[in-house]
Amino acid sequence: GAVVSQHPSRVICKSGTSVKIECRSLDFQATTMFWYRQFPKQSLMLMATSNEGSKATYEQGVEKDKFLINHASLTLSTLTVTSAHPEDSSFYICSVPIGRSGANVLTFGAGSRLTVL
């Protein structure tokens, strides 16, 4: 099946710095990738849809200038958390839609845990 690789798996940074998270689709060309965020004990919340070659689509309440998304190729999308603050500490997960008999299954990365001190 399709494999989605996320890097780094864990990152700790100081408040005010920027952090980049990479999401790679290893064996499937993805024109679209999704970025989710998950706080402790909560469910996944969609942050944005990453579109290859065009601007990302952000969900309501997600600041596009704070969470920069770049989808420069069919196999790579990056999420940059700019000027990170402790409240940005969360589990960030990317996913790639894979068509399967019309049902559009999502394959997820292993996630990136961000801790902002």
Partner 1 sequence: DAKTTQPNSMESNEEEPVHLPCNHSTISGTDYIHWYRQLPSQGPEYVIHGLTSNVNNRMASLAIAEDRKSSTLILHRATLRDAAVYYCILRASFNAGNMLTFGGGTRLMVKP
The answer to whether residue 106 forms part of the interface with partner 1 (CB under 8 A) is: yes
- Please, which residues have CB within 8 angstroms of residue 37's CB and are 6 or more apart in sequence? 44, 45, 47, 90, 91, 92, 93
Residue from 53, 61, 86, 102 that binds partner 1 (CB under 8 A)?
102
| Least CB distance to partner 1 at residue 43 (A) | 5
The answer to whether residue 111 forms part of the interface with partner 1 (CB under 8 A) is: yes
The tokens of 14 are what? 């100081």
The answer to whether residue 107 forms part of the interface with partner 1 (CB under 8 A) is: yes
Between 43 and 86, CB nearer to partner 1? 43
Between 78 and 107, CB nearer to partner 1? 107
Rounded Cα distance, 16 and 60, in Å: 24
Indicate the burial class of 93 (C-beta count within 10 angstroms; 0-12, 13-18, 19 or more).
Answer: buried
Residues 42-101 that bind partner 1 (CB under 8 A): 43-46, 49, 91, 93, 95, 97, 100
The answer to whether residue 26 forms part of the interface with partner 1 (CB under 8 A) is: no
